[in-house]
Amino acid sequence: MEHFLSPGPNSQYNTGDTISFLVDDMPDEDNQNINANLHKSDGSFVKTLQTWNSQDVDENGEEFPFQWSVDVTEGGLYYVEIKVGMSMEDVIQSYPFQVSCGGASCTDSITPASSQPDTEFVQEMDPIMPNDSTVADPNTQSSELDDASPKLPIPEKEESTKPTLPSPSMQDLEAADNVAVAQEKASIAQQQQNKVPARKQTADKDQQVGKTSRPISAVEIAKKVKAAAAINKAASIAHGLTKQKRNAYHHIQRNRAKFSKWN
């Protein structure tokens, strides 16, 4: 369906306004009457606005203008249709336009027009196109919104690194064992040194109270030798336990190394 060049879609007028129509290509049948008919948006005929002879409207093949002063008594949606006589060929329509009726004579319903077309002619209307607006594609709208929205920089994800404890070397383990043995020997030596001042204090005390020192018997000497041997044995046992712990730790480290190679 061809449409007028003017007025465009969704035009609005009031009663008493003058509408300027512009047709791009009028029908050119010879010796035929060309009618400009006014219709409601539902296709019902209202009246004939103007009539021309086909020889007068398209003589030079140029655009054809005409005007109409809005005089309907009901507001609503209308369109104008141009056709040759009663033929349904070469039909041209205007885009629907809105008429607002503000006068005292306006009503909510259009009164039947006095001038009606031939009653023997049954008019078949083509479907009316309300306007040329199209439904927007939601995908297009979404992309337009994305383009309009501000772009915020995406922070880069920092890789979290867990601190790894270095595994002790054999040299570190041996040094730790040597330190432990030295501490044990120092502790035993300190204990032995603490006993000498104690014996000296006892002798001084005996002298103060008037007691005379007596010679050490063989039994006391044997007890002291036995006590010293017990102390040395305890130190040796302690050193042996430390060595066992060290060997066990080395054994565990070797097993871990083998397991890591297999995996």
**Residue-averaged pLDDT of the chain:** 74
In this predicted model, which residue has the larger pLDDT, 110 or 100? 100
Pull the structure tokens for residue 9: 């879609």
Q: How confident is the model over 7-25, as pLDDT tens digits?
A: 999 999 999 999 999 998 8
Q: Does residue 31 sit in the same domain as residue 91?
A: yes
Residue 78: CB atoms within 10 Å: 21
User: What's the pTM value of the predicted model, to 2 decimals?
Assistant: 0.40
Q: Kindly state whether residue 139 falls inside one of the protein's structural domains.
A: no
CA dihedral 183, 187, 189, 190 (to 10 degrees): 130
Across residues 184-211, what is the average pLDDT? 69
Query: What pLDDT does residue 113 have?
Result: 41
What's the domain range around 240?
170-262
Q: What is the rounded CA–CA span in Å between residue 5 and residue 50?
A: 18
pLDDT of residue 150: 58
Q: Is residue 149 part of a domain?
A: no
| Cα within 13 Å of Cα(75), Cβ side | 12
pLDDT recorded at residue 32: 83
- Residue 141 pLDDT class (50, 70, 90 cuts): low
Contact assessment for residue 80 and residue 68, using Cβ atoms and an 8 Å cutoff? yes
Residue 47 maps to which CATH number?
Answer: 2.60.40.1930
- Tell me the pLDDT band of 148, cut-offs 50, 70 and 90: low
Q: What is the DSSP letter of 106?
A: -
Of the pLDDT bands very low, low, confident and very high (cuts 50, 70, 90), residue 6 is: very high
The answer on 22 and 98 residing in a single domain is yes
User: Are residues 8 and 104 part of one domain?
Assistant: yes
Q: In angstroms, rounded to a whole number, what is the distance separating the alpha carbons of residues 91 and 209?
A: 150
Query: Looking at per-residue confidence, does 73 or 110 come out higher?
Result: 73
pLDDT in tens, 58-109: 665 678 899 999 999 899 999 999 988 777 777 899 999 999 987 656 665 4
Bridge partner list, 78: 40, 97
d(Cα 37, Cα 79) in Å, to the nearest integer?
9
Q: Are residue 186 and residue 95 in the same domain, yes or no?
A: no
The confidence score (pLDDT) of residue 247 equals: 79
- Burial pattern 248-260, b for ≥16 Cβ within 10 A else e, equals eeeeeeeeeeeee
Question: Is 196 contained in some domain?
Answer: yes
Look at residues 64, 97, 129 and tell me which one is the last residue of a structural domain.
129
Read off the pLDDT of each residue in 137-164 and give the average, rounded to a whole number. Answer: 59
Name the domain count of the chain: 2
143 located within any domain: no
Residues 121 and 9 placed together within one structural domain of the fold = yes
Given this model, what pLDDT does residue 118 score? 43
